[in-house]
Structure 1
C-alpha cells in the first residue's frame, strides 16, 4: 500500500453507494460532533439516504476504489462535507471543497458553531463569517454560523 494514496473525486453513483456514504457520515460525525444529541444523530442518519442525499449534487472522494469522503451541494451552498475519520486531516476535505467550489459553484456554507474544527477549516480556505443563528435549520439548539467565500 502506498504511504500517500491518490485520492480522486467523482460524481456519486447514486443510491447504489448511499450505504457507504452513510458509513462515512457516521464515522465523521462521531469524531467531530460530540455536541450532537443521540436522538438528533439517529434522526439525521435515518434521513440521509431518503431525504438529504437526493436533495443535493453529490461528489465522492475515493482512494484505492473505496469512498473516503463526500460533499453535497445545492444552489451554491455546501450542504454537507464529510470525511471518514481514518483519513481526516489528510487533504480529502480540501480536495472535495476545491471541487465543490470549482465544479459545483459553491460560495456559501453553514457550520455548527460547536464544530470548531470545521469552522477553522473553512476560514483557512477563504471563507468569512457573515452571520449567525441561535438555532439550526430544524429549530434545534445548535447555533449555526453562516460563511461565504471571500472574493
Structure 2
C-alpha cells in the first residue's frame, strides 16, 4: 500500500473517491437514510476539491482504497473502502496524518460509534459535544482531541518492557549500580524557566503545541492534551511574575506549565475575552477538586489532568496552569513549583490519590 498527497485532483480520481465515500457511509452511517446520503453526496466533490491536503491510500494495482482530508492539523475526513475495513488501512492513514501533518483534532457523528471507538483507540478523546451538526441539522457531533496517539503509547510500553528486562538482568548478576544507571537512561526531562523561550514551546509550532518538531523526533516531548488555554505569545504589556515549564518522562510523559503575568487594561480585556470564549466541560472538578481559589476564565479537564486559567481582577493578573499526566497520577512534584493558592482546592494528583486508587481497584 502506498500513501501519497494528491497534487492533481483529476475528475477520474474525484469520482473514485466519491464512490469510496458513498460505500463507506452506507456501511457505517446507519442513522442516515438513502435520501439523506444522496443529499449529502452533492456536496462531497466540493469538499474534496477544497480541502488543503488530500491524502490517498492506493493498493498494489495503484487503485485508491481510502483517503483523508486535512486542514490545519484537523482531520476533516477519512473514509476506507468497506471491503478493506478492519485491515489496518485507516490506522495507517491516521498515523501518517499525525506524523506528517501533526493532526490533533477530528469531529465525528455521535451516532457512528464505530468511528468514535476507532479514534479513541488511536488516542483521541472527546472534549465537546453538540446536539446539532455544523449545518444545524439534528446529528449530534463529538469533537475529539489527540491526547496521546497509540503509536507513541506503544513505544512507551516497549521502552518500559525493555527497561524491566535490563533491570532484571542486572539484578541477576548483582550489579545494583548498573541498574540505577540504566534506568536513568530511559528518563527524559526538560525544565525551562526563561520567559524568552516561551514561544519556542507555546507558539503555533512550538514544542508543546505541535508534534512536528525536532524535540518530538528525538525525545517525544510534545503534549498529552492540546493546550488552547495558554496564549501563543505574551501581550506587549505583560509583566511576568512566574514562568515554569517541565517535561518529565520516567515511564510515561508528565507536563507542568505555570505562567503568571499582569498587563495593562487593553491587553487584559482582550485576553480574558479570548479565554471566556473557550468552551468548558460541564463536570470539570476532578482529582478531589472542590473549586478554584480565583475566578475561572477557562478550563480543560479529564483523566489526563487539568489545564486552566484564573484571574486576579484587582491586579489585571492572569494565572495559567497545566498539569497533565498518564495513569491517573503525575511524577512531577507540582506543589514545589505552583503555590497552593494557584492550585484547585483539594486537588491531589500524587501517586496515592483516591482517583488513582479507585482506578486500580477496578482492575483487580
Q: Same fold (TM over 0.5)?
A: yes
**Alignment partner for residue 14 of structure 1, among 9, 13, 16?**
9
Unaligned runs of 5+ in 1: 1-6
Rg (Cα) greater in structure: 2
Select the residue among 50, 63, 71 that pairs with 1:55: 50
Q: The residue matched to 1:14 in structure 2 has which SS? A: coil
1:100 aligns with 2:97: yes
User: 1:137 aligns to what?
Assistant: 134
Q: How does 1:77-92 map to 2 (within 5 A)?
A: 77-92=74-89
Give the number of aligned pairs: 144
> Taking structure 1 as the reference length, what is the TM-score of the superposition?
0.91
Runs of 4+ in 1 over 3 A off after TM superposition: none
Residue 127, structure 1, aligned to residue 124, structure 2:
yes
* 2-structure distance, mates of 1:118, 1:54: 24
Q: Distance in 2 between matches of 1:15 and 1:37?
A: 29
Contact 1:9–1:96 (8 Å) recurs in 2: yes
Structure 2: which 5+ residue stretches go unaligned?
A: 148-223, 225-364
SS at match of 1:82: strand
1:26-55 deviation digits (Å, cap 9, x = unpaired): 111010001013333112211111x20122
Encode CA deviations 1:77-105: one digit per residue, 9 max, x unaligned.
10100000000110110011011111122
What SS does the aligned partner of 1:124 have? Answer: helix
C-alpha separation in 2, matches of 1:19 and 1:60: 13
Matching of residue 147 in structure 1 with residue 144 in structure 2: yes
| Counterparts of 1:106 and 1:59, CA distance in 2 | 13
With normalisation by structure 2, the TM-score equals 0.39
Task: Judging by fraction of residues, say which structure has more strand.
Answer: 1
Residue 44 of structure 1 is matched in structure 2 by: 40
Secondary structure of 1:137's counterpart equals coil
Q: Which has the higher contact order (CA 8 A, sep 6+)?
A: 1
Contact 1:55 1:74 in 2 (8 A): no
